[in-house]
Amino acid sequence: MKTDQRGTPADGERARPAGGVDLALPPTAPRTGEGSGTATPATFVTHGVEVRPLAVSGCYEFTPRVFRDERGLFVSPLRQDVLTEVLGRPFPVAQTNHSRSARGVMRGVHFSATPPGQAKYVHCSRGRGLDVVVDIRLGSPTFGAWDTVEMDTETFRAAYLPDGVGHAFLSLEDDTVMTYLVSTPYRADLEREIDPLDPALGLPWPKDVRFTFSQRDTHSMSLARAEAEGILPRFEDCLALAKAHR
């Protein structure tokens, strides 16, 4: 892992001053980048699960019921019946992944070449993290929009991302474990990345904290360069993949 100690996100750089500065979360209200053009639908509840449509078309936040007693707690972070009802189709799970991250580790913005694409259902199994979804699908009505989900083991919020949507997260505590359920098997040759500190995206990362990146993410490209090189997913291809699962 590489830790960069240059500049601030406001300047499009990759680090924060070192020191024991707490990671402050940004405002929890949905935010969007340019190009949203549509209002975010209201939150609703189905089968006891609170569902919040996110500012990126096709993305959702799910908050399950948590059952607590003197023994501890029980929770179902994923309800397939709820997800199928919301999406209008099943979510095929091909693989589950776990990542464990130290405080300040940032992963993303990642996406898979589409086709074949990769839809994701993400939740936090330990610790606390800030999850970010970014619409990088060319032709999408919300292209350039983003939204955030605060994930922890108190609320057990989860996020669903359809094929072609960019994903990033920041670990807010040591030993934070993120769990991913994905629709296609991992293939390194299909993985793509965009700079999470690209000023054109304007993602809401906390201030005054040192970020740690993988070598891969350190060399990620800007959104504009990704578009110029023709690697961004096309919205019509993403919709076709979703339709195939109906």
Query: Helices marked H in 36-111 — which ranges?
Result: 80-87
Kindly state the tokens that stand for 64.
Answer: 């399950």
Kindly state the tokens that stand for 35.
Answer: 């190009």
CA dihedral sign of residues 8, 14, 17, 19: positive
| Strand partners for 169 | 107, 131
Give catalytic residue positions: 110, 180
Kindly state the tokens that stand for 223.
Answer: 């959104």
CA dihedral sign of residues 141, 120, 220, 8: positive
The CB-based long-range contact list for 45-48 (8 Å cut-off, 24+ gap) reads 46/82, 46/85, 46/86, 47/79, 47/81, 47/82, 47/85
The two beta strands, 176-182 and 120-126, are antiparallel
DSSP string of 126-161?
Answer: ESEEEEEEE---BT-TTTT-EEEEEEETTT--EEEE
